[in-house]
Chain A
Amino acid sequence: MAVTTAPPRPPALRRRRKKGTTGELPKKVWATAIMWLMVVVYGFPVLWFLLSSIKPAGELFSYPLTLFPENPTLKGFTQAWTSFDVAQYFVNTLIVTVAATLLTIVASAACGYALAKYNNWWIKAFTICILATTMLPGEVLLAPLFLVVRDLNMYNSLSAVVVPAVITATGTFMFRQFFLTVPDDLLEAARIDGSGELSTFLRIMLPLSRPIMLTLAIFSFQWRWNDYIWPLVVLNDPSKYTLQIGVATIVGAENVNWSVLLGASVLSMIPLVLIYLVFQKYVMNADINAGLKD
């Protein structure tokens, strides 16, 4: 189709576009200007924060304020890392995040596949149950959920942060929507070849869903890394705190030690930024609608 219609069209299109560009120059200038103004609005707070974090403590509050530090130093970072247990918080957060992310992917992939490819009545009922969890998030069930965790003897352990977070409607539905697009013929073919249901899932379907796994991995990593209220409720011992609670305790202090706070905050942001920069396309091109629309 494209080949047959191509010869006559391009000149006409090109001519129209050329006319358009000269007439629409102001539009281009405006759009670009507004966009870069927005870039400043969104980028500046972070830039100011990063530049402040490498200022020595004395320079932070000395007027006149300057954008760039006169004597850049990493003292805030080293102080936060050593004296405020940020290293410990870092390890805890990493354990929680990695464990929860791996388990979330396993549980969501398996469940999403079952919801997409089997039509028993109880599978349909469970689909509705999973949807219902979006209406009752952890924040709403805070007190009773805490009691459940306590009764399971998980209070004050990192598993209390990990285990309840494994079930997510968004992740399950991301996989469900993906597996709905995988033709049933593939499944039938595997059945005719005598492949068991579970091995079909593990050997054929799971490898197909790699892009979804990566997308969910990044989402889950972000959710768990940035979680605040649930870890705050179930972790009591400061040696088990996650980064977010750790930073919040520095903020909550009577006299906020800004030098340490800025250092700890910036340190806590690094892993996510790195992951985002590496796996950017899996976030930006993700059809996140899939997980939320249904």
Chain B
Amino acid sequence: MHAILSINGISKAYGSIQALKNVSLEIPKGSVFGILGPNGSGKTTLMSIVLDILKADSGSYSWFNQPNHPTVRKRIGTLLETPNFYHYLSAVDNLNITNAISGRGSAAAIDEVLEIVKLTERKKSKFSAYSLGMKQRLAIGAALLGNPEILLLDEPTNGLDPVGIAEIRELIIRLAQKGITIIIASHLLDEIEKICSHVAILKRGNLLTTGTVDEVLSNEDIIELSAANLSGLKKCIQEMGGFSSIKELENRIQVFYPIGTANMEALNQHCFNKGITLNLLLHKKKSLETKFFELTND
């Protein structure tokens, strides 16, 4: 899978604040790529640089392995930070401008995206009369206009109600299935975990990790066990060895093994031989949220 966006050593400072420090990553074609990070980690700065809104102090980027040119952005449907539209114009008039600048879509396509984002009934209302959620939906509609090859969405679920959030999630999954590359920045880790194939985690301008979701989450095997005799179980596991750490929880224990070394069958057998009957044996996947906090907490 070749990269649709390559970022090479990008740095950016705002005065004394270093917003990005030598960030390099590649976004594969057809991926749903989540960019995560706490507030101020540099997610929006990074997105703004690759859209030519901000100028990097150093480093470079290229879309589609081509030299940077404004026409490249016409192939990208973008929602960056806030919905940016002319307040005195209606949804249709605003999308006409998006269409005229980007060359994506047509009058029929405008109606189609307004239908997708459920704004058909209000399509002639002025943007200034929209609620926050409606403005956000219009921005998503503008990004979708004319079936772009890439969608770049910065906090796309801002201002949406739970139904709206679920709809956007379903929409992203549907679009990803069609092969559209989707780059998404969000605080909603649960949402990201549900829809992303790849992630990058930023903290204070540093890229902490990047890769497929499975690669990022699975740097160790976690086995969760429980038995009536919890202290006996712990002793039994310790006798067996091979683990990197053990964590005792309220009514179960978690055993951490180096990646690929946990053998659930052998564990079960060992405990049984020692007279301990397990009532829980689970290969647990670390949640993105857990991983995120692990990486971003000082």
- Whether chains A and B associate is no
Residues of chain A whose beta carbon lies under 8 Å from any beta carbon of chain B: none
Residues of chain B whose beta carbon lies under 8 Å from any beta carbon of chain A: none
